[in-house]
A and B are shown apart, each in its own frame.
Chain A
Amino acid sequence: MKSEFDKEIDGLLRGHAEAARRGGASTSAAAGAARSGNGRDGAADSPAHLDADELSAYAENALPAPARLRYAAHLADCDNCRRIVTRIALASGVAGELDKREAAAANPAGQSVKASRLAWLAGLFSPRALRYVAPVVVAALVGVVGFVALRQSSNQMSLAPRNERNETANVNTTDVASRQTETTTATMGDANQNANANAPASVPAGTLAERAQDEKSKAVSAPGEMAKAEAPSPAKDAGGGSASNVTSETTTPAPPPASKAGSPDERKAQDDNFAVQTAPAPPVQSADKERVAETEETVSVSAANAPPNRAAVQNRKRSGGEDVQSLPAQNRAYEQQQTARNEEPRDEDTARVGQQAGSRGRSNQQKAAPELSTRAPRRSDTATTGNKSANAAPETETRSIAGRRFSKRNGVWVDTAYDSSQSPADIARGSERFRSLVADEPKIARIARELEGTIIVVWKNRVYRIK
């Protein structure tokens, strides 16, 4: 603002005023006196002075414009009256009022729209700070719904919503079913943390699930049985193949046959893994995040689990950029699913995800993937074998790190690719051999770091037992 000033004139005026103040009555006062008859000092004697009422009314900006102008003329030339008016104006905080008025005037249209929206949101969230968060949340929800709608059109996976799974205490009396219930419970617990997002999300999820099932039936039956662990029982019942198909379609166009082979088992296994995994997942996530970056886990994970949490995920990401770290398992599963679906162009997802920048979103999703107990092996060869072994031990914990899946058995983390026909080479952490191994294979270092105790890992056709 002041940059518009004529600096030279500004300086001259300052000097002029200074001279006038220090007794230069001949300069300013003379001219002033010519106008109003008031010198610096003549205020009291002039009948033109403003009375207390006029002074205060002027100072408080309470006068209609014509009166204002007349009084301004006197005030310009009468130092005493001007002083009084100044004191009153400053004492009554007029400047603050003007600021408010200016702000309102500067944005009248936007103000009203925004005001109504904010007022509504304010009704929901009393703290003022939330006013700024609430619109973000609303936008997030809208984005989520839209995203979900988009997804389900391309998403072939069975999107059995958690709701369905929850309510149908499942169909299966198998372990899988019970595990699913566990999963559901666990994830529900987590999901409740994002009640906001979940609530609306579950609604579309339900519809999506139905559509997914339709799509499933359309999907290629045989191939792509990437286990969708989260496939809800109904979906499963509907046909494991189709369920898997949906998954596989979303993951990769050409899932390897191996993964197809064990479809029902795979699904179960993945369910199982997923189920069990969800509970312990959250705490691990933060640690895993780093590892995730290196992980190639793709996630043909339970799209089914995803939908209700999708909103939560989106929401959370939008609102706080909290990232994957605090996601409940199902959200993570969804992340993985997303990762799986678009390995290349993750932008769609990340864009949806909001706060993450595109590239970051990608890495996040990658990060997300492993955290969650992925049941979704990368359509790698290990899938099948892994599934089988995993399936054999229903209550087993499973982790996926660096592209390998490990199940904990008897306190030992066993690579799902391992079978007992192989004899592992023992390597102690911190040993020379270990160091040279991890120098060549840093991913093993990650595995060794993240899994406690003894680990049996299959790496490049060799088996190591790390202790």
Chain B
Amino acid sequence: MSQQKAANTDELVSAGAARLLARAGEARSLNPSQLLPRVRATLDKYLLKHHPEASGQEVDKFLDALHADDLVLVVACERGDEAAWNDLMTRFRATVLSAARSMSGGEAEAEELAQSVWAELYGLRTRPDGTPSGKLAYYSGCGSLGGWLRAVVGQLAVDQHRRTSRLVQTEEAADFDRMANEEHQGEDDFRVATAPDPERAFAETEAAHAVHTALALALSELDAEDRLLVKLYYFDDLRLREAGAVLGVHEATASRRLARAQTEIRRRVEALLVAEHGWTRDEVSRTLRDVGVNLQSDLQRILTPSAGTVVEEQRE
């Protein structure tokens, strides 16, 4: 049965590869058998690995969605087709440079990064025995070649940063660190709330800590996509539309999902606070409210130039 299925799959892949070559704008002197290994690998990686029982129809649909032109171009490049290489560099020079700019501090850095990318793609394109090597081999045709190149640039940039600095921070974190270090040395007015007395401040700190811990735990228990959405929207500060785009949903859908996630988070946080601290529901509500208010004022202070780094206490 599985053998038959495997045989069926092979047939489907052969037919799919033939269709793919047919729909490419330029065949570049390739024949379907030269595409077969690539197509088969892609199918395995993205469909069969996660969904082994995929039907023939699903397989066909997947294969027909592959980016034919891009895949043919890449395979031709790997086979040493210089014309194909020229095409690749001509078509995607701008894409690579633009991606490099978004990952780099300045134009010079961006150009250097772009050059590195091309070198990696070109320089390692074939092993001595002629088999393809290097990054191009990892292009599957599932996404577009332009998108793939952007990802390559991104990863290379991260690698380079990692080599040059041990800590990879988001820009915001770096900014805040700088602010904290430069502007507020000697100031000790950081506090969680505007409460004047230390005891109350301490209590509030404790409460805030409890809430934050509960939040973190609640987040970790969310569904993968809900958690991703929360991260995109709150942590990465994307707009709802953008966060939806990453998830592949429309803004309205993203909004609804986020609202549901919030409900789920609330439920979980309240349950955690009751269980962990023995608070009553009223106490929980009050705590959430207070911490929320404090956080708001904290944020305000943080975001204004001369604000103190209020959340110092929360650093462990």
Binding site for B on A (CB under 8 A): 1-2, 4-6, 8-28, 30-32, 34-35, 40-41, 43-44, 51-53, 55-64, 66-70, 72-73, 75-77, 79-80, 82-92, 94-95, 98-99, 101-102
Contact = CB atoms under 8 A, between A and B. Distances in A.
B86 interface: no
B235 A21 contact: yes
Given A52-B155, A56-B144, A77-B227, 17 more contacts: A6-B262, A12-B269, A16-B234, A17-B237, A21-B170, A28-B235, A51-B151, A56-B147, A56-B151, A60-B147, A64-B46, A72-B228, A83-B236, A84-B155, A87-B103, A87-B154, A92-B147
Interface in B235-265: 235-238, 240-242, 244-252, 255-256, 258-259, 262-263, 265
A32 B65 contact: no
Nearest to B46: A67
Contacts of A70: 50, 224
A27 to B, nearest CB: 5
Interface residues of A, dominant DSSP: helix
A87 B95 CA distance: 12
B8 interface: no
A88 B150 contact: yes
A98 B302 contact: no
The 3 closest A-B pairs by CB, nearest first: A15-B295, A66-B50, A56-B147
Given A6-B266, A22-B311, A52-B148, A76 B231 contact: yes
A25 B147 CA distance: 31
Interface string B6-41: 000000000000000000000000000000000000
A85 B158 CA distance: 13
Contacts of A31: 216-217, 219-220
5 contacts: A12-B211, A13-B262, A64-B46, A80-B168, A87-B150
Given A62-B65, A94-B245, A95-B241, A11 B224 contact: no
Nearest to B311: A19
Given A13-B215, A28-B216, A73-B224, A2 B242 contact: no
Nearest to B54: A64
B298 A15 contact: yes
Interface of B: 46-47, 49-51, 58, 62, 65, 98-99, 102-103, 135, 138-140, 142-144, 146-148, 150-152, 154-155, 158-159, 162, 167-170, 172-173, 176-177, 180, 211-213, 215-217, 219-220, 224-225, 227-228, 230-232, 234-238, 240-242, 244-252, 255-256, 258-259, 262-263, 265-266, 269, 288-289, 291-292, 295-296, 298-299, 302, 309, 311, 314-316
B135 to A, nearest CB: 7
Given A35-B220, A69-B224, A18 B311 contact: yes
Contact of A99 (B235, B250, B265, B269): B250
B168 A34 contact: no
B234 A14 contact: yes
Given A28-B216, A31-B217, A90-B242, A12 B256 contact: no
A68 B248 contact: yes
B46 A57 contact: yes
A62 B158 CA distance: 24
A70 B50 CA distance: 8
A23 B177 contact: yes
Nearest to A42: B168
A20 B235 contact: yes
A13 B289 contact: no
B212 A27 contact: yes
Contacts of A82: 228, 231-232, 236, 246
A101 B248 CA distance: 11
A59 B152 CA distance: 13
A74 B315 CA distance: 25
Nearest to B157: A84
Given A6-B259, A28-B235, A98 B138 contact: no
Given A76-B227, A86-B232, A92-B144, A64 B311 contact: no
Contact of A64 (B51, B249, B299): B51
Nearest to A13: B234
B47 A64 contact: yes
Contact of A52 (B135, B228, B241, B242): B135
Contacts of A52: 135, 138-139, 148, 151-152, 154-155
Contacts of A8: 266, 288-289, 292
Contacts of A89: 242, 245-246
Contacts of B98: 91
Contacts of A16: 211-212, 215-216, 234, 295
Contacts of B296: 11, 15
A62 B311 contact: no
Nearest to A10: B262
Nearest to A44: B162
Contacts of B238: 86
Contacts of A79: 170, 235
A92 B212 contact: no
A98 B245 contact: yes
A436 B121 CA distance: 97
Contact of A5 (B216, B220, B262): B262
B248 to A, nearest CB: 4
B311 A95 contact: no
Nearest to B260: A4
A94 B150 CA distance: 15
A62 B143 contact: yes
Given A4-B256, A56-B143, A14 B65 contact: no
B149 to A, nearest CB: 8
